[in-house]
Amino acid sequence: MGITIEARNLVRRFGVFTAVDGVSFAVQEGEIFGFLGPNGAGKSTTIKMLCGILAPTSGELWVGGVDVRTYPEEAKHRIGYMSQKFSLYEDLTVWENIEFYAGIYRLPKESKGGWMEKMLALSGLEEEKHRLAGDLPGGYKQRLALGCALLHDPPIIFLDEPTAGVDPISRRNFWELIAQMAGKGKTIFVTTHYMDEAEHCDRLALINNGKIVAAGTPTQLKERQTGVLLEVATLQPIRAFALVRRELPETNPALFGSLLHVSLSDRAAMEERLLELFKNENITVDSMSAISFSLEDVFCQVMGPGGTVGV
Amino acid sequence: MESFWAEAAGRVGQVVKKEVIQILRDRKFLVLVLVTPVLQTIIFGYVANVDVTDIPTVVCDQDRSRASRELADRFLQSGFFSRAGTIDDPREADGWLDGGKAKVVLVIPFGYSKEVAGKKTSEVQVLVDATNSNVAGIAASYASAIVAETNVDMLLTRLQRIGIRAQETVLVEPETRVWYNPELKSVNFMVPGMLCVILLTSTMNLTGISMVREKERGTAEQLAVTPVRSWEVVLAKVLPFIGIGFINIVFILFLGIFWFGVPLAGSLGLLFALSGIFIFTSLGLGVLISTVAATQQQAMMMAQFFMVPNMLLSGFMFPIANMPAAVQYVTYLVPLRYYVEIVRRIFMKGAGLPELWNQLVPLAVFGIVAVGVASLRFRKVQK
Ligand SMILES: Nc1ncnc2c1ncn2[C@@H]1O[C@H](COP(=O)(O)OP(=O)(O)OP(=O)(O)O)[C@@H](O)[C@H]1O
Ligand SMILES: [Mg+2]
């Protein structure tokens, strides 16, 4: 298994603003590689450079063994791309969209019909064949977009937030499709905001402000966390969160529903201080226990001090 | 593997097919595209119907000779000029013109008959109210045509007198006088011009919209990751709208010829063929605009903006010959100018391809450059 996507010191500026700031990573063939980061982190910008539709300001990148900067057209036969925004023709039917991309990729006559049927089945849209793409529910649209991106059977697939705004069932179906693709040896580069989705990835890179701040397998990322994570159950979670963020920002407080997570480097000393703070502010603590880091905790932690509100 | 061109043609065909489906599916758009030019033609046709006949004319005959009366009669019997009054002193002319009681004053000077008889040149003055420059231009050109005709007749008489019969003189042949618009109906002049302007408006806006829509909806980005080339997309965007352009032409011509009764002197086939080239050019310009514009509104605004010099400098409204020399040079940069010339010459003079080459070549060059630059600008890799 070799490296099939590689970026070295990738930089992209828009005027004076640097959207991607010296990003380097390598993706193995057959891997599901996740790109995680908050809004505006530079995920889409990176993906567009990898797909050869946005020129990097500097840096090198290879996709499928091809230098994208010099031979963008060569690389295009090897990649499938699903953009963050639905970008098929809404005024064409499902089938017309599939036909269009099959024609654009010049699929050979003999296998064309078969492939088109196969992609229709893969998207699970046989029933919707003659519906306008614009009239499809969100989850169907995403599957159609995936189907069209896979029509020419590319070995490398770029998916930019493929499940944004899609219901949980559709998301699950979609990830089953992705797993199926990976099973067939395809390389998948996917960006996401969802932590459960990140757990499905073989490897992850966390990006913030255009820089990669952490990388590794989900397990590695979790294990790499030092200190102890405390989960605090209280009746006043919001007030508690605000308080800790003000007084002890270094503990990276984060809200998970009604639970407050704080990470402590030195449990013995910090726990006391925390309890005292809550007591002074009349915040009743129901329970406080050490738990293991989830990916979301890692995410909040590495995205910098000050804390983030989790979902 | 398909050959390079077969592949390219296949992709262009695929994009064209998609475009056609989209156009046919958008009923409102389709109606707008097909009906608007028809309405514009009808409105324009009636508005432009300011016929130049019976121009009120004041005669100032200072010579009071047979020759001078003959000249005045030629004016008044031509149908273009009618007598509004008679004056003795040319200085009264201003009063008539300023008061709007007359549009033309014909001044025949003292000694006109003597000078003419003495084979000397005589200066006949034709004062024209230029408030409406179109009417003024036409009136002036007819006045000079009548004077020229008089000259010819006098020359013939003179030649006869010295023993040469008219048949033997190859000098003058009445048929060689080219009267562009013998009935002097402005609609004959305006309808061909309208055809050009309406065609430019509709086609340029259309492609502009269709290109920008692709950008706005993000489908252009999806196209960018496919192997389709920029020029293939640009070409495929232009082709279906050439069809729409032709449908527009058929409607406008039908209205012009049968409704407004505009005579077509030249060949219909040639008019169609050359219109095809103009449509290509104007679509190319539309695409070019759309590569600059980010939204459909912007594209529309830019197209409107581009229309202004085309309307003013193409000769559609104001004769290019009446413009200052510097402005006349600028008109060469206005693509509509060539097409207006082509259409008017085919319509009014029955011009054929040999006479139209010099207009056709610049027009085609504009088109090729526009499509070429648009292809370069519609880059697949965003800089
Ligand atoms: N064409 C552009 N011109 C100027 N700035 C841009 C452009 N494209 C992106 N940016 C900026 O670059 C930064 C990174 O954008 P990008 O779309 O890569 O973020 P992202 O990680 O995909 O975010 P999201 O999760 O919201 O999709 C943002 O601040 C964005 O405003
Ligand atoms: Mg994005």
* Host H or E run for residue B126: strand B125-128
pLDDT mean for each 10 residues of chain B (383 residues): 83 95 89 86 74 80 87 82 87 83 85 76 76 69 75 73 52 34 63 86 80 87 90 88 90 89 89 92 87 83 85 82 85 91 88 90 92 81 69
Q: Which residue has the CA at smallest separation from atom 2 of ligand 1?
A: A14
Question: What pLDDT is stored for residue B380 in this prediction?
Answer: 65
Closest chain B residue to A13, measured at CA:
B383
Nearest CB neighbour to A79, from listed B11, B13, B225: B225
Question: What pLDDT is stored for residue B49 in this prediction?
Answer: 59
Q: How far apart are CA B160 and CA A57, in angstroms?
A: 88
Q: What is the crossing angle of helices A94-104 and A109-122, to 10°?
A: 140
Confidence of residue A30 (pLDDT cuts 50, 70, 90): very high
Query: Using beta carbons and an 8 Å cutoff, which residues of B are at the interface with A?
Result: 2, 7, 10-11, 13-15, 17-18, 21-22, 25-26, 217-219, 221-228, 380-383
> Measured from the CA of A48, which atom of ligand 1 is nearest?
18
What is the third-level CATH fold of A3-217?
Rossmann fold (3.40.50)
Q: How far apart are CA B186 and CA B127, in angstroms?
A: 21
| CA B228 to chain CA mean position, Å | 39
Nearest CB neighbour to A72, from listed B10, B13, B381: B381
Rounded to the nearest integer, the mean pLDDT of chain A is 88
- Is the CB of A83 inside a 6 Å radius of any atom of ligand 1? no
Residues from chain A contacting residue B217 (CB–CB below 8 Å): 87, 90
Confidence of residue A1 (pLDDT cuts 50, 70, 90): low
- Beta strands, E only, chain A: 3-14, 17-28, 32-36, 58-63, 66-67, 79-82, 156-160, 187-192, 203-208, 211-216, 228-234, 254-256, 259-264, 285-291, 308-309
Q: How far apart are CA A286 and CA B85, in angstroms?
A: 111
- Please list all protein residues whose beta carbon sits less than 5 angstroms from ligand 2, which is an ion: A 43-44, 84
Residues from chain B contacting residue A90 (CB–CB below 8 Å): 217
Contact (CB<8Å) B15/A77: no
Residue B201: HSE in the Cβ half-sphere, 13 Å Cα cutoff: 19
Residue B249 has a CB neighbour count (10 Å cut-off) of 21
Sorted by where each begins, the domain ranges of chain A are 3-217, 226-292
Give the residue from B367, B207, B220, B203 showing the smallest Cα distance to B290.
B207
The two three-digit tokens of residue B279, written as one number: 């449509």
Q: How far apart are CA A284 and CA A286, in angstroms?
A: 6
* Alpha helices (H) in chain B, listed in sequence order: 4-25, 27-47, 66-77, 93-98, 112-117, 133-161, 186-216, 219-224, 230-254, 268-292, 296-313, 325-331, 335-344, 353-377
Question: What pLDDT is stored for residue B171 in this prediction?
Answer: 35
ipTM above 0.90 for this complex: no
> Measured from the CA of A17, which atom of ligand 1 is nearest?
5
CATH number of the domain at B55-168, out of 3.30.70.1230, 1.10.760.10, 3.10.129.10, 3.40.1710.10?
3.40.1710.10
Q: Residue A40: pLDDT above 70?
A: yes
- Is the CB of A210 inside a 6 Å radius of any atom of ligand 1? no
Quote the ligand 2 centre to A84 CA distance (angstroms).
6
Strand partners, A285: A234
Amino acid occupying residue A281: E
* Host H or E run for residue A278: helix A267-280
The number of C-beta contacts closer than 8 angstroms across A and B is 75
* Host H or E run for residue A144: helix A138-150
Q: How far apart are CA B232 and CA B9, in angstroms?
A: 8
Contact (CB<8Å) A88/B227: no
Q: Does A91 touch chain B (CB under 8 A)?
A: yes
Q: Residue A32: pLDDT above 90?
A: yes
Contact (CB<8Å) A90/B217: yes
Q: Best substitution site from A45, A86, A160, A212 to test ligand 1's pocket, by max atoms within 8 Å of Cβ?
A: A45
Q: How far apart are CA B251 and CA B245, in angstroms?
A: 10
Give the residue from B175, B351, B188, B342 showing the smallest Cα distance to B263.
B188
Shortest distance, CA A54 to any CA of chain B (angstroms)? 5
CATH number for the domain running over A226-292: 3.30.70
Q: How far apart are CA A188 and CA A101, in angstroms?
A: 20
Q: Assign A79 to helix, strand or coil.
A: strand
- Is the CB of A39 inside a 6 Å radius of any atom of ligand 1? yes
Sole residue written with tokens 């459960």 = A196
Question: For chain A, what percent of residues have pLDDT higher than 90?
Answer: 47
Fold identical between A3-217 and A226-292?
no
pLDDT in tens, A108-125: 888 888 989 988 988 889
Q: Does A67 touch chain B (CB under 8 A)?
A: no
Shortest distance, CA B19 to any CA of chain A (angstroms)? 10
Strand partners, A191: A35, A160
Q: Residue A311: pLDDT above 50?
A: no
Closest chain A residue to B229, measured at CA:
A73
Q: How far apart are CA A221 and CA A204, in angstroms?
A: 9
Question: What pLDDT is stored for residue B296 in this prediction?
Answer: 81
Distances from the Cα of A60 to the Cα of A16, A23, A64, A238, B380, angstroms: 21, 10, 14, 45, 19
Question: What pLDDT is stored for residue A308 in this prediction?
Answer: 39
Q: How far apart are CA B353 and CA B359, in angstroms?
A: 10
Beta carbons within 8 Å of A266's beta carbon, 6+ residues apart: A227
- Among A37-41, A69-73, A292-296, B377-381, which is the least confidently predicted range? B377-381
Question: What pLDDT is stored for residue B11 in this prediction?
Answer: 94
Q: How far apart are CA A106 and CA A191, in angstroms?
A: 29
pLDDT in tens, A141-175: 989 999 999 999 999 999 999 988 788 888 888 89
Each residue of A85-109: b (16+ CB within 10 Å) or e?
A: ebbbbbbbbbbbbbbbbbbbbbbee
**Which CB contacts under 8 angstroms, 24+ apart, belong to A113-117?**
A115/A151, A115/A153, A116/A151
pTM score, whole prediction = 0.75
Contact (CB<8Å) B226/A92: no
Quote the ligand 1 centre to A220 CA distance (angstroms).
28
- Is the CB of A48 inside a 6 Å radius of any atom of ligand 1? no
The two three-digit tokens of residue A75, written as one number: 């690389």
Q: How far apart are CA A297 and CA B367, in angstroms?
A: 60
Residue A205 has a CB neighbour count (10 Å cut-off) of 25
- Is the CB of A289 inside a 6 Å radius of any atom of ligand 1? no
pLDDT in tens, A179-232: 988 999 999 999 988 888 898 999 999 999 999 988 999 888 888 777 788 888
Contact (CB<8Å) B26/A91: yes
* Residue A3 vs residue B194, higher pLDDT: A3
pLDDT in tens, A67-100: 998 888 888 889 999 999 888 999 999 999 999 9
> Measured from the CA of A37, which atom of ligand 1 is nearest?
21
The two three-digit tokens of residue B261, written as one number: 């009764």
At residue B256, what are phi and psi to the nearest 5 degrees? -60, -50
- Is the CB of A14 inside a 6 Å radius of any atom of ligand 1? yes
Sole residue written with tokens 């020229």 = B148
Q: Which residue has the CA at smallest separation from atom 16 of ligand 1?
A: A42
Question: What pLDDT is stored for residue A15 in this prediction?
Answer: 92
- Is the CB of A10 inside a 6 Å radius of any atom of ligand 1? no
Nearest CB neighbour to A87, from listed B2, B21, B218: B218
Give the residue from A178, A28, A150 showing the smallest Cα distance to A79.
A150
> Measured from the CA of A42, which atom of ligand 1 is nearest?
18
Question: What pLDDT is stored for residue A6 in this prediction?
Answer: 95
Q: How far apart are CA A301 and CA A214, in angstroms?
A: 10
Question: What pLDDT is stored for residue B50 in this prediction?
Answer: 57
CB B266 within 8 A of CB B345: yes
Q: Does A87 touch chain B (CB under 8 A)?
A: yes
> Measured from the CA of A54, which atom of ligand 1 is nearest?
1
Sorted by where each begins, the domain ranges of chain B are 2-49+185-382, 55-168
Concatenated DSSP letters of B310-342: HHHHSSSSS-GGGS-HHHHHHHTT-HHHHHHHH
